[in-house]
Structure 1
């Protein structure tokens, strides 16, 4: 094992758009699980390859549990992420995770998501009407991606229209990495805000997640925790992938035309966007609950393990020419939505959002193109939330 002073250091600096950083590529070639120093300055293990990540995503010896959460190694310093680390024993942690999935999965079933599709189409049409009306040049990030993702999720979770602006501001405060006081205040305000929503909706008959969970007898605190986790994860991931997907499609016009001509091809295009939208940095921190030996390394109980759901999508052992964007790629076993016990329950809804936005935007604005070269577009930095700082376009 390398000396702690020699460990490769992961940074939060945005890499070149859509490209694997030289450091991550080097680590991937070095091995499937590499010892690294995190942006927080702690030591941990980064899972770099597709086969290794897929195997570990089925391994119940990794989870949120740590015997000493206050001193657990971290990927980044953020009080919101601290909430995810529990001091419960591993078995209790697995039970809590399983219970959360049991409660939420029926609300994202295939039938429910099919029923949601007309609402998603209506939301995208409405947002696009406003976006187009302002005329070019315009910013797709703030003008389309963010409002679509927020509106869809707010509708499904059950956030009233008059409360959404306040909630968006609270979520934004939680994403900042370098202002602990702001995040701690934002954390209290966010949970109080959502708990208030739960209390007001408890006796209602709306068909949304908060109402359904509250009707199931859960406490306000438990419903609020589940709702906040959905809000934070859902908005961030969808906006980021949507931003990057629009760049990919806009810069591959022949593939875009093929996708627009055939809805089946568009579904394949969405899968390739999901694979190629980010080239590293989609990190989910986990902790080993016992010693685990794999691929020549031993991960000790309590050590931090970083599951990166984007870097393994660029593993040449699993994908031919992984840095090539190819909507005909088959099979396409990307791990963007994780796998196994950690598979994202909102994946079917995210796919519908992406397909609807890509289809409607480029159909209604066939002359749309980027207003700046790709190498001048920038990822957000200094925040947990992803996506681009802006995505200017003309038509």
Structure 2
């Protein structure tokens, strides 16, 4: 399987895994296939087996540090990959092996698992990784070195007074993303109650071997990510996508409310649920204007007020319009507008960029007037085209005609003006309502 495009985990086939890993097979046989996830040796053996079988990675973690479950860690990495792929500068929405990406693993832990999974699956990526704990930092360096990944990583042991995103100390000017699994608990009592199941209607499905510094911080996950948001207000586009995991939906909602209150309109919401009763939420935000697709940005089922503005609009073709006629209409309509337009007839897909509402009557009248003036003074269309080459993009979009379902799908690829996006969708839709 190609690790660069490996899908998220849905389940783990323990029986098949036991056939691939001798150490895990011993536990599998001893327990007759009934794994005890409250046993630290079982969880550690399982983590090592999955990393080795699925990613070719070796792992060494001390007994008093967190041994992470691989499926939910990989699913977070996979979600970030989808987020970056769907906001490619060329609007391709595909993995680009030539694209150079640099990420930051905040609090990498002894396993350095997020850093290792990112680097192993995407060869053109590099990572920065930080940790405040000396023992975890040393083990992270050892794991990265043992797996031949240390040369693609900038490691930094941080102190409490340093920023969570310490670009200056890392010697990095810009990051493409952050990845973070923050301490979930506000204090040791909160942690012990949760791990003992005192605040839940069920016991945790797996043992937790994490040290207090890995599990506890002031304000818990909400306090930690709030600090990230505050730092991002100063850094802004020095990080393309800020992302973090959150342990409770209420924390995710609070962060989204905070983002909205700060005027941030480009965010994404994801979730991780590989079974076993443990669910996590992901919140990502950006000060840039590249818009992720709905399948990435709106995959969590929460109230609409916490979801980002939809980036897809679709409508069915009228009964009297076939798909070929629809393709012709869209291509001709786009060519009549003052915008950059590239139509792929084979795939019935067009990508356009515009400087503003170039489809409004007022703009079109003004544009025609300028063309006539240019022609009268001896100018030509090439001069008008020069304006498009240098224009500042206010909106970018993709239009697809789907033969199989007889639909037109419009994707919002770039822009910050929701009204402009809705206006464009309405303009395209109306052109078919007249048919």
Which bracket does the TM-score occupy, shorter chain normalised? under 0.3
Q: Computing the radius of gyration over CA atoms, which structure comes out larger, 1 or 2? A: 2
Higher helix share: 1
* TM-score (structure 1 length as normaliser): 0.24
* TM-score (structure 2 length as normaliser): 0.23
Which structure's relative contact order is higher, taking Cα pairs within 8 Å and 6+ residues apart? 1
